[in-house]
A and B are shown apart, each in its own frame.
Chain A
Amino acid sequence: MTDYKNLKLIATSNPHIRGSETTRSIMLDVIIAMLPALAFAIFNFGLRALTLTAVSVVGCIFWEWLYRKLMKKPQSIGDLSCVVTGMLLAFVCPVQMPYWMILIGDFFAIIVVKQLFGGIGKNFLNPALAGRAVLLASYAGTMTSWVDPAAGKAPIIGSMADVVTTATPLAVMKTGDFAALTGTYNVGNMFIGQIPGSLGEVSALALLIGGAYLIWRKVINWQTPVSYIATVAVLTFLFPKQGSGVEWMLYSVFGGGLFLGAFFMATDYATSPVTKKGQLIFGIGCGLFTVLIRYFGSYNEGVCYSIMVMNLLVALIDKYTKPTRFGVVKSDKKEAAAK
């Protein structure tokens, strides 16, 4: 493998300005942006949220270290991308899941989806989402029972027998009585995140703070998250299944993993389009699939699968949103297309 870090290769004419940005600094920004959501998860679900995240992070670092060691490749754990994957995977899992289970998810995320395809930047799916999809397909029971944060916290170790589980707002919206849901959790609860759900997805507020930080730091562009959330909002506003459009829209947007997916998953560099136009299309596609799965699929939540589906379409989106080269005029472009 080429040692890009020490490769002093400059292909354009001078002057050259070097930025201080590295993979490590970007990943560090992402980790910082996830801290509000983690803090809220600890507040909402208890200290087990922290230990589960820690186990997941350690698992991801271990698998990545082990694979690079066995394959005699340069170590890459220093770029912190596996820490981000570990945190994100924990964020999309229920808090009461056993620790060994998340290690299996880490294995699939890091080894199968990331390292087997060439390591950072070469994964074709978001590793954390792929890890969750594998866990959901393998352990459907555990992965779809949610601790009720109002009824007590999950213990850090030991039996989960005393934990009270309940349906997530999205599950109620799919099959149950929407009016009863609005009685249990008001819009403020939904926004702040005092609801059952995956560990890091519940608080739209904390995720919004993190997302705003990422946009301010220019780690992500606003195009993907805004178009994603806006698409879901518009579709759910236009086609409410129960209640009024505005209410249904707010519960749809704040419930489930939409904010987590929009700010932290759909913006993954390796699995999202390069151009801003492409990112808009990507976000709209994610939103469309999310609403379709929520409305017509058998799952309550479509964020995970919708982002994975759009991940697979990134190559196509990039192909059709390729910017025109400087100096090419319209007639040339038409000729090129005709060929």
Chain B
Amino acid sequence: MNFGKQLKEGLITNNPVLVQVLGMCSTMAITTSIMNGLGMGVSVLIILTASNVVISAIRKIVPDKIRIAMFIVVIAGFVTCVDLLLQAFVPAIAESLGVFIPLIVVNCIILGRAESFSYKNGIAASFVDGICQGIGYTLVLLAMCFIRELLGAGTLAGFRIIPEQFPIGVLTLPVGGFLVLGCLIAAMQWALSRNKK
């Protein structure tokens, strides 16, 4: 097991959002404020790590044919836990994330890691993979939130940075989400291709 290599994969070379292009739905929808992004990122991080560990632990007793159903059951269990915890302790974030917390069940990143990593690797490696991929996802969310909230609403985590009449409101709309994500993916691909040379 190589923690450094897995971290590098999760953050850069195999970043779940910018390289694997998974989990687009939540990435577009909730990245309008830093607090939303942080809440979503940490939720996914926790669920991803927990489900990775459990799936890795039961991988030898789950028949191949029903493995997807098993993955979903495990993921849905953890999502429910996180959903209830959010509602109990940080109701404001739970409210603003709304339906996107339950929708983590079908987030491609979690199912994708279950299928491509934890179903084939040991518990410790799956645990590290969950954390690394989760951090990679969270960082991209925060980058998008930073750009969209700062330029689109003129605030950062609710504090006004740019006076009210200047911000480019279109960035907080869905079209801004596509635009910012496209630019980030392009920048990532550019950096990766430069690195290869």
Contacts and interface: CB of A to CB of B under 8 A. Distances in A.
Interface stretch (B12-20, B83-91, B165-173): B165-173
Nearest to A134: B170
5 tightest Cβ-Cβ pairs between the two chains A and B = A138-B169, A137-B170, A138-B170, A138-B168, A134-B170
Interface string A18-42: 0000000000000000000000000
9 contacts: A100-B166, A104-B168, A112-B179, A134-B170, A137-B169, A137-B173, A137-B175, A138-B169, A138-B171
A299 interface: no
Interface string B22-61: 0000000000000000000000000000000000000000
A139 interface: yes
Contacts of B171: 138
Given A134-B168, A138-B170, 15 more contacts: A100-B166, A104-B168, A112-B179, A134-B170, A137-B169, A137-B170, A137-B173, A137-B175, A138-B167, A138-B168, A138-B169, A138-B171, A139-B165, A139-B169, A140-B169
Contacts of A138: 167-171
Interface of B: 165-171, 173, 175, 179
Contacts of A112: 179
Contacts of B167: 138
Interface of A: 100, 104, 112, 134, 137-140
B39 to A, nearest CB: 26
A139 B152 CA distance: 11
Majority SS at the chain A contact face:
helix
Contacts, number: 17
B194 to A, nearest CB: 13
Nearest to A137: B170
A139 B165 CA distance: 8
Nearest to A142: B165
A104 B166 CA distance: 10
Contacts of B166: 100
Contacts of A104: 168
B183 to A, nearest CB: 8
A104 B169 CA distance: 12
A202 to B, nearest CB: 26
Nearest to B175: A137
Contacts of B165: 139
Contacts of A140: 169
A255 B166 CA distance: 30
Contacts of A100: 166
A91 to B, nearest CB: 20
- Give the interface centre of A104, A137, A140 by most chain B CB atoms within 10 Å: A137
Nearest to B173: A137
Contacts of A134: 168, 170
Contacts of B168: 104, 134, 138
